[in-house]
Amino acid sequence: MTARQMLLTEITLNPSVKEKDELRLSRQALEIYNLLKLGPVTTQQAASIACQYNARINEIRHALKIFGLMVDKIEGRDGGNIYQIVTLEKSTFWKEIKQKGEQWKW
């Protein structure tokens, strides 16, 4: 008997794996994302979920870019920041990257 390569249609897919168009986020990033969907999130709220909240927000930014969205940061009055989901066109974060000519690694 000779070995043959399996066809993609013959491979049983794991139902627990998310569809391609769903966000794939770590648990903490998903918690912050769920808050962001409800409205603006403060630094304090994000930090209560993840000590490295900046890394989790960056993870969300990477996931949202394919949908034309971005997590934007606004400086709050108390010295903390406020994060919210906006379109790329309205994103000050995205405009700053483009103005600097920086490559944002995906």
pLDDT in tens, 32-90: 999 999 999 999 999 999 999 999 999 999 899 888 899 999 887 888 899 999 998 88
Q: Where are the domains of the chain?
A: 25-100
DSSP 8-state assignment for residue 13: P
Q: Span 25-100: which CATH code?
A: 3.90.1150.220
N- to C-terminal Cα separation, the chain: 44
Is 29:56 a contact under the CB 8 Å cutoff?
A: yes
